[in-house]
């Protein structure tokens, strides 16, 4: 990363009534960085994104987005940010071309026809230009939404669970596109529930109940978790309960004929596994899923 901050905010907080939705969020996102937001539903991810792009004014805190003050220059921020929401929000009875032309009109873009054509070609939509949006698959609707976000050439993309309900190939294609855009210097802040997507971010933040619990690169978060993991090969459906009762074991996940076992005390877990007659096991790499399950368990008793 190059050290230029697309987002640099400190202590952002937001409440709705008596409910504090975001509590003292501090965040730095560098130019050309893909920064992932993770956390359970209702954790404050969407509210945080809306504060950053100027749609919501923070109750407390300060900072900049693309060099503009998040509290007093929201209009300037909106002009240079592309925001993709969770829901498909285009006219289903209009074609791809007509939807993009409508967006171009909203931004009062010059040379609309050329801009729309270039946007379609950039995201592989030109061959479907006259297809009605309502007849598109989830993956193609996603491409249309991204094309609309990019029409005004934003410097920052804010993507709120953009791949929910999309098939794995379309998700992979979408992320290839995101990395291509980041390579052009566009910064990306994306919320997701998918661990394979989280692993493709340069850095991650985990939020629960409005609080930032952990942040860093995927590798750093795995290292900071202190978890040791083992793969246990066995097809006994009753084995899971026995594994959970072993000293030091915090997580047991069944995956076909394999159990993933993890906890903080690797030596203690290994000793316990070795005590079970005939059990086949080996050390394994800890994944982001285990890390975030651990974080969720630490806050599972927090108020709704």
Domains of the chain: residue spans and CATH = 5-222 (3.40.50.300), 228-285 (3.30.70.860)
C-beta separation of 116 from 151 below 8 A: yes
| The pLDDT of residue 304 | 44
Mean pLDDT, each 10-residue run in order, the chain (304 residues): 78 94 93 92 87 90 94 91 81 94 89 93 92 90 90 91 83 91 93 89 92 93 95 88 94 90 96 92 94 80 45
| The pLDDT of residue 3 | 52
Interacting residues of 188 by C-beta distance below 8 A, sequence separation 6+: 33, 34, 35, 156, 157, 159, 178, 181, 182
C-beta separation of 237 from 249 below 8 A: no
**DSSP for residue 96:** H
């Amino acid at each position: 990363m190059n050290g230029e901050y697309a987002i640099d905010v400190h202590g952002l907080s937001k409440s709705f009534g008596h409910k504090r939705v975001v509590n003292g969020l501090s965040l730095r996102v560098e130019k050309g960085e893909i920064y992932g937001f993770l956390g359970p539903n209702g954790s404050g991810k969407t509210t945080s994104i809306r504060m950053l792009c100027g749609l919501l004014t923070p109750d407390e805190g300060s900072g900049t987005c693309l060099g503009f003050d998040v509290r007093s220059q929201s209009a300037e921020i909106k002009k240079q940010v592309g925001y993709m929401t969770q829901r498909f929000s285009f006219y289903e009875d209009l074609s791809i071309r007509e939807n993009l032309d409508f967006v171009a009109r909203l931004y009062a873009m010059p040379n609309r026809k050329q801009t729309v054509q270039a946007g379609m070609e950039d995201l592989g939509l030109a061959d479907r230009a006259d297809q009605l949006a309502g007849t598109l698959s989830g993956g193609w609707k996603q491409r249309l939404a991204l094309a609309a976000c990019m029409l005004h050439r934003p410097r920052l993309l804010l993507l709120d669970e953009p791949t929910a309900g999309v098939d794995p190939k379309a998700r992979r294609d979408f992320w290839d596109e995101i990395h291509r855009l980041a390579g052009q210097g566009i910064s990306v802040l994306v919320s997701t529930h998918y661990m394979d997507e989280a692993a493709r971010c340069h850095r991650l933040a985990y939020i629960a109940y409005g609080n930032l619990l952990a942040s860093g690169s995927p590798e750093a978060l795995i290292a900071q978790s202190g978890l040791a993991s083992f793969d246990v090969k066995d097809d006994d459906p009753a084995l899971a309960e026995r594994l959970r009762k072993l000293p030091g074991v915090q997580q047991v996940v069944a995956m076909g004929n394999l159990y993933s076992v993890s906890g903080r005390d690797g030596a203690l877990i290994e000793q316990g596994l070795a005590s079970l007659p005939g059990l086949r096991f080996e050390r394994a790499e800890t994944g982001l899923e285990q890390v975030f399950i651990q974080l969720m368990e630490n806050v599972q008793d927090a108020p709704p």
